[in-house]
């Protein structure tokens, strides 16, 4: 018998019913193939649940539902105001169960509970903010003279595919769903195979607050075959993907080979965090710590290359080492823990491999450099010194609590080092000098420059990458452009007046 739901008791004692099926047309259904996959708690390595795995046929079913909702259903015919109302209701519903969502997220992803609570609060806030956009989509009129009326409208795209990562499951889901729904599209969303639980639970709220069937479809599955089925689908008009640059390339290829669907990508990074001699050292160190150890380093814009001006290098490094060694690693549900588990065994091994490679290439382990404990996918906060720019650990995205630190002397050198990457997602600049801050932020090729702060987001400030870090921007008013297309209507007017 297909198990489509399961009672789960979370580590903090909360008990709830976790849906296991694919959420299609407002119902949880079994995968057509009957296949399931396991969901592991990375802090304990124990099985949380087995969820249904979406295959090509399931994606087709989801697209059918989304297309019907877009073309014929209530969603298409109602006022934009109604979309905003539903998004606000969704935010209210998540807020009513915020504690549960936080606990699900911590158990599934491994992040410390305080961090999951932060994610949930941000997701609620973002759904509310996008609710406010729904009835404010505007285009423009261009005056080209009396002979024409030129209307420039913004219309929704249709069925959009969204593929989200495992590092901030619920928050990334809000960044995707919010703007897509506010602008009138319908959605087929695939969660990451490591972290499907909070997305499925959200499905129960989607139905509860009254979204019409087919508007939001949420499936669990792997890049192959479910992700591919989405990116190759002939009737999906757009795909939004957050994940690695390698997979991002494949997404673009699939889109091109199928129906030239629109693509936006949020990919990897190897973001530099630069400390100038006049920076406040204590503050800079705080931001460096947040920059690489927040979310156990599983952040696309992690400040994973630290560059410190030579005159303060020793001081900064000393304080940084002390701070890194104070970072408490452990059980996500334990008070005072800052850094939880890496999200999966695969990720753990990948990071440990980079640490091995770093040692082999001759970098020096200043602190950390090994697994923490024997149960759960924990890694000690790690700092590598004596690195060269050619080392793999300096060039490639590790996506874990591992950072390299190097010194520089001049501003020009710092900028050159910062830009020495095919990525361009973010950068940190720590300095007290206003002119230097403006100058350096102008010269670094990255989508977000943080001055005297790091990993410091606001939902109205757009986020996205230069270069191989991505295509397009999320958050801010810019997010709406991802989910609308411009239609120009040019009306020829015959002469009416003598």
Chain positions 464 to 493 lying near other proteins, rule: CB under 8 A, are: 477, 491, 493
**Which of 19, 39, 58, 128 contacts other proteins by CB under 8 A?**
128
Q: How far is the CB of 168 from other proteins (least distance, A)?
A: 20
Place of tokens 């090509």: 56
Q: Does 145 bind other proteins (CB under 8 A)?
A: no
**Which of 32, 89, 125, 286 contacts other proteins by CB under 8 A?**
125
* Residue 248 near residue 470 (C-beta atoms within 8 A): yes
**Which of 1, 15, 260, 496 contacts other proteins by CB under 8 A?**
496
Q: Does 459 bind other proteins (CB under 8 A)?
A: yes
Residue 176, sorted as left (phi over 0), alpha (psi -120 to 50) or beta, turns out to be alpha
Name the active-site residue from 53, 67, 105, 266: 266
Q: How far is the CB of 134 from other proteins (least distance, A)?
A: 8
* Residue 112 near residue 332 (C-beta atoms within 8 A): yes
Question: Which is nearer to other proteins, 15 or 434 (by Cβ)?
Answer: 434
Question: Which is nearer to other proteins, 391 or 479 (by Cβ)?
Answer: 479
Site string for other proteins, 396-435 (x = CB under 8 A): --------------------------------------xx
Q: Does 224 bind other proteins (CB under 8 A)?
A: no
Question: Which is nearer to other proteins, 224 or 498 (by Cβ)?
Answer: 498
**Which of 460, 486, 488, 489 contacts other proteins by CB under 8 A?**
460
Q: How far is the CB of 492 from other proteins (least distance, A)?
A: 8
Among 35-43, 66-74, 133-141, 298-306, the segment contacting other proteins (CB under 8 A): 133-141
Site string for other proteins, 30-69 (x = CB under 8 A): ----------------------------------------
Chain positions 146 to 205 lying near other proteins, rule: CB under 8 A, are: 146, 149
For the chain, what's the residue count? 498
468 given a catalytic annotation: no
Question: Which is nearer to other proteins, 261 or 459 (by Cβ)?
Answer: 459
Q: How far is the CB of 429 from other proteins (least distance, A)?
A: 14
Question: Which is nearer to other proteins, 6 or 88 (by Cβ)?
Answer: 88
Footprint of other proteins on this chain (CB under 8 A)?
81, 84-85, 88, 125, 128-129, 131-136, 138, 146, 149, 434-435, 438-439, 459-460, 477, 491, 493-494, 496-498
């Amino acid at each position: 018998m297909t198990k489509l739901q399961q009672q789960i008791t979370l580590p903090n004692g909360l008990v709830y019913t976790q849906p296991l099926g694919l959420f299609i047309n407002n119902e949880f259904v079994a995968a057509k193939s009957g296949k399931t996959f396991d969901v592991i708690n990375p802090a304990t390595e124990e099985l949380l649940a087995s969820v249904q795995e979406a295959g090509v046929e399931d994606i087709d079913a989801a697209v059918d539902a989304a297309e019907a909702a877009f073309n014929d259903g209530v969603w298409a015919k109602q006022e934009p105001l109604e979309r905003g109302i539903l998004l606000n209701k969704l935010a209210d519903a998540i807020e009513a169960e915020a504690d549960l969502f936080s606990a699900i997220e911590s158990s599934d992803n491994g992040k410390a509970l305080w961090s999951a609570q932060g994610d949930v609060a941000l997701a609620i806030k973002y759904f509310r903010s996008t609710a406010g956009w729904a009835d404010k989509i505007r285009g423009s009129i261009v005056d080209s003279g009396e002979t024409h009326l030129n209307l420039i409208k913004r219309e929704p795209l249709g069925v959009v595919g969204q593929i989200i990562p495992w590092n901030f499951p619920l928050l990334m889901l809000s960044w995707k769903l919010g703007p897509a729904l506010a602008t009138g599209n319908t959605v087929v969303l695939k969660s990451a195979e490591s972290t499907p639980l909070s997305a499925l639970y959200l499905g129960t709220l989607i139905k509860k607050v009254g979204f019409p069937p087919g508007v939001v479809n949420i499936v669990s599955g792997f890049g192959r075959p479910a992700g591919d089925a989405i990116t190759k689908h002939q009737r999906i008009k757009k795909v939004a993907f957050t994940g690695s640059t390698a997979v991002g390339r494949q997404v673009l290829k699939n889109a091109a080979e199928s129906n030239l669907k629109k693509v936006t990508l949020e990919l990897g990074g190897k973001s530099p965090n630069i400390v100038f001699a006049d920076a406040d050292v204590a503050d800079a160190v705080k931001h460096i710590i947040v920059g690489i150890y927040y979310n156990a380093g599983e952040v696309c814009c992690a400040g994973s290359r630290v560059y410190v001006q030579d005159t303060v290098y020793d001081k900064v490094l000393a304080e940084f080492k002390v701070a890194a060694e104070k970072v408490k690693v452990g059980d996500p549900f334990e008070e005072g823990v800052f850094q939880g588990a890496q999200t999966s065994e695969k990720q753990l091994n990948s990071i440990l491999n980079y640490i091995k490679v770093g040692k082999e290439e001759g970098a020096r382990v200043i602190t950390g450099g090994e697994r923490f404990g024997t149960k759960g996918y924990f890694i000690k906060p790690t700092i590598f010194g004596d690195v060269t720019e050619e080392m793999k650990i300096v060039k490639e995205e590790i996506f874990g609590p591992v950072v390299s630190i190097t010194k520089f002397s001049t501003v020009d050198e710092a900028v050159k080092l910062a830009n020495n990457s095919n990525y361009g997602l973010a950068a940190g600049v720590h300095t007290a000098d206003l002119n230097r801050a403006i100058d350096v932020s102008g010269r670094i090729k990255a989508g977000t420059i943080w001055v005297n702060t790091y990993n410091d987001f606001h939902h109205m400030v757009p986020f996205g990458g230069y270069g191989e870090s991505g295509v397009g921007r999320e958050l801010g008013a810019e997010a709406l452009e991802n989910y609308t297309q411009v239609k120009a209507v040019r009306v020829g007017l015959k002469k009416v007046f003598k």
